[in-house]
Amino acid sequence: MMDEILTVGEMESRFVGEWLLVEDPQTDEALEVLSGKVRFHSKDRDEVYRKAVGLRPRRFAVLYTGSISKDAAVVL
């Protein structure tokens, strides 16, 4: 776990192609994550969600720092 607050740009450069559990995310008015504390990271999305259940952070976001395949469908 990290206590350092990182910007999304710093997260993307440190954790390339990984899923991130970001605690206490700072967001803009559109609720896009700007910064926060990376509590866990993994190449496996399900592992990140399991960690979120275990840690039970009050406020969190899950981010992906990789590229999404052109053939993939994204559901929001």
Contacts of 2 (CB under 8 A, 6+ apart): 37, 38, 39
pLDDT at 58 over 60: yes
Q: Is residue 47 domain-resident?
A: yes
Q: Is residue 75 domain-resident?
A: no
Q: Is residue 13 domain-resident?
A: yes
Q: In terms of pTM, does the model score above 0.75?
A: yes
Q: Is residue 71 domain-resident?
A: no
- Read off the pLDDT band of 8 (50, 70, 90): very high
Q: Is residue 30 domain-resident?
A: yes
Tell me how many degrees the CA angle 55-37-15 measures, rounded to the nearest 5: 100
Tally the domains of the chain: 1
Q: Is residue 73 domain-resident?
A: no
Q: Is residue 12 domain-resident?
A: yes
What is the reported pLDDT for 76?
Answer: 66
Per-residue pLDDT tens over the stretch 15-48 = 999 999 999 999 999 999 999 999 999 999 999 9
